[in-house]
């Protein structure tokens, strides 16, 4: 995905991983891209790791990711710039 300068350049769909009816992971093509809210960013994921674990009597999947920042919505306050390849999952998100 190239850097996106304008919201009209956003793709209408994406490839993603979902669960099938048995709860197994399934790669799905052409899933609608959710509307991006003001104050958010779009990151093209280049690396992703999951870590399932039992936490306080519940099954939790911790997620860590790295990627390239491809779009910044209007009103977002950040020091990151388009094309920044160092975008990582923030520690507060990693805690589940």
Say which residues have a Cβ less than 8 Å from residue 92's Cβ, sequence separation at least 6. Answer: none
Tell me what pLDDT residue 1 has: 55
Predicted confidence band of residue 5 (pLDDT cuts 50, 70, 90): low
Strand ranges for the chain from DSSP E = 13-19, 25-32, 41-55, 58-72, 87-88
Residue of 75 and 2 predicted with greater confidence? 75
Domain positions in the chain are 7-94
pLDDT single digits (tens) 15-69: 888 888 888 888 999 899 888 888 888 888 888 887 777 667 777 777 778 888 8
Instruction: Please say if the pLDDT value at position 95 is more than 50.
Output: no
- Is 46 in a helix, a strand, or coil? strand
Enter the DSSP assignment of 75.
Answer: T
Instruction: Please say if the pLDDT value at position 96 is more than 50.
Output: no
């Amino acid at each position: 995905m190239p850097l996106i300068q304008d919201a009209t350049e956003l793709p209408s769909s994406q490839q993603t991983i979902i669960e099938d009816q048995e709860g197994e992971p399934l790669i799905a093509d052409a899933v609608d891209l959710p509307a991006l809210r003001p104050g958010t960013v779009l990151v093209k994921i280049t690396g992703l790791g999951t870590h399932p674990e039992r936490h306080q009597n519940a099954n939790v999947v911790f997620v860590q990711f790295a990627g390239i920042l491809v779009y910044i919505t209007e009103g977002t306050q950040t020091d990151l710039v388009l094309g920044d390849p160092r975008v990582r999952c923030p520690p507060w998100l990693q805690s589940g």
